[in-house]
Every structure is written in structure tokens, then in C-alpha cells.
Amino acid sequence: MVMLLLLLLLLLLLLLLLLLLLLLLLLLLLLQLLLLHYYYYYYYYFYYYYYYYYYYYYYYYYYYYYYYYYHYYYYYYYYYYYYYYYTTTTTTTTTTTTVHSDKKCIHTMAATTTYSPYREACMFYKQPLFILI
């Protein structure tokens, strides 16, 4: 009878040990799942951050390129307009003539040039008045 009781106690102890082992295994599995989830979350976060950074960099680069292109176009347009204005003012609106025999120069317009076919000292200034030089 004592032997049977001892055997039953041993069996119960073994069962308890098995249950404890199973519980430990379950805990380990849960921990692993949690760690895996954390790792997955961390990986996802890293991927999202990388994607966001790449997108931001691409957007910034595109914006910078667009700004540079617009800036260049604006300056090109400005210089073209300035050149056009300069050529039109120097070619179409400049009028020169000579007065009497001393070859004095009369000009009516606002061109900026120092060349004159009549006299070397004839300077053109930006004044809309009739100036006798």
C-alpha cells in the first residue's frame, strides 16, 4: 500500500514536472512570438522610415531641379528681354544727325554707346531731351 502511494506520488510529481515544462515551453513560444512581433514592427518601421526618407529626398531633388530650371529659364528670359530691349533701343530709336560744318552731334534718345561716326567725343547718355554736344 505504501509502495503504491509512493508510486502515485512519483507519478504526480512527474506529471507536475511535465506540466511545468509545458508551461515553460508555452512561455518561451509566447516570448518568441512577442520578439518576432517586435522585430517585425521594428523592420516595418525601418522600412517605412527608409521609404519616407527616399520619397522626401526624391521630392526635394525634384523641387530643387524644378526651381533651378525655373530660375535658369527666368534669367534666360530676362537676358533675352534685356538683349532685345537693348538691340531695339540701340537700333530703332537712336537718331543721330550733324549740324552745319563743325560736325556737332544732336541725339534724341536714351542709348548707351560711345561710338559715333561723326566725332570721337560724341557720347550718348540716357536723356530724352535734345542735347547739343
Domain residue ranges in the chain: 34-92, 96-133
Read off the pLDDT of each residue in 8-16 and give the average, rounded to a whole number.
92
Q: Considering the chain, what percentage of its residues have pLDDT values greater than 90?
A: 13
At residue 56, the pLDDT reads 74
Question: What is the pLDDT at residue 88?
Answer: 64
Q: Binning pLDDT at 50, 70 and 90, where does residue 15 land?
A: very high
Of residues 75 and 125, the one with the higher pLDDT is 75
Nearest-angstrom CA–CA distance, 121 and 125:
12
What 3-state class would DSSP assign to 125?
coil
Distance of CA 32 to the CA centre of its chain: 44
pLDDT digits (tens, 9 = 90+) for 74-112: 777 777 777 777 666 655 555 555 444 444 445 444 444
